[in-house]
Amino acid sequence: MTDIDPVELTQALIQCPSVTPVDEGALGVLETALTPLGFVCQRLPFHQDGTPDVDNLYARLGTSGPVLCFAGHTDVVPVGDASAWTYPPFGAEIHDGVLYGRGAVDMKAGIACFASAAARYLSEQGDAFIGSISFLITGDEEGPAINGTVKMLDWMVANGESIDACIVGEPTNTDTLGQTIKIGRRGSLTGTITQHGSQGHVAYPQHADNPVPKLVKLLSALTDEPLDQGTEHFQPSNLEITTVDVGNTATNVIPNSARAVFNVRFNDTYTPDTLKARLSDQLGAAGDNFDLDFSVSGDSFLTPPGLLSDVMSQAVKKITGLTPELSTSGGTSDARFIKDHSAVAEFGLMNQTAHKVDECARVEDIRKLADIYYEMIAGYFRESASV
């Protein structure tokens, strides 16, 4: 059985400049690492009109259950001004015990660590291993998320592939490795209000209908009262106004319309439909002659504490000595799609440098993460066998 060094594999992945949606060989690096272990690897390219083509990788070892899956992404966000980086963003250089590079924490190290952990576990189990380990790796997490995880999951259903539990390797910790496991995420809803009026001269307001004060009244209706007080596992839902636009370049013209956009990160008090209904009612009571459009990029979800989170928590505590918080904070992730197919929870490195200049991870933390994932794998199959 082939050993995989998690730091070396992380470096090899970072050295592929896989800025979404371009792969630049990253999936091939992972496939080359997994194939000698016995994983059957399948590349899954998907396309849709109006969106970039994306390559993805599904790999599985084993034909029986239970199936423990690791989900992640090899695509990364752009580096921005490369000259602002202390070290080359795709150089994967190590300095003073720190590995620098775009994707170091979000989330190429996570992928490398799980591959390393799987290699170690399978080597120790040999022919005694019962179950399956799989990898669900997309190149579309940082992009529109259309030709990635969603279509991979549809492909799995169509081809008789299933998941019993899934660990997502997103960076979940704020300050110290071992602080936080994500067992759910808030949903995300964006609303656009277009308040209509009638253009006219500011000196003759009686001949116009100014939409701006009316839009302000609508926005006040959205923000005057909290949406809820939070639930057992979720913080309160939060609405933020993100832009107000009139597009008026003249100071003596009352505009014809005014537009505002808001975003709600909502907890399990609401479904997208019930949240839309509440917001529509609030706005309808506060004004008229406006258009309201909604888009939802993810529903709130929760994997109730149980086998998966218990195994993950025990693994974290064994390696770090910390008892992690089971949290639902933060933004969205591809776990929002996986939750319809299996229990899912997230654990990875620290997130302070994700998407930033000089993204980096301590080599010691990368090696610890591989040890944690090993304990998660061993614990999951041990506990599943005893159920």
Give me the active site residues, please.
75, 141
Which of 383, 339, 384, 350 is closest to 166 using CA atoms? Answer: 339
> In the beta sheet, which residues pair with residue 360?
100
What is the end-to-end Cα distance of the chain in Å, rounded? 29
DSSP string across 36-69 = GGT-EEEE--B--TTS--B--EEEEE-SSS-EEE
* Structural contact between residues 79 and 332, judged by C-beta atoms closer than 8 angstroms: no
Token representation of residue 17: 């400049």
Distance CA 125, CA 71 (A): 22
Which of 169, 105, 89 is closest to 137 using CA atoms? Answer: 169
Q: Which residues of 62-74 are buried (b: 16+ CB within 10 A; e: fewer)?
A: beeebbbbbbbbb
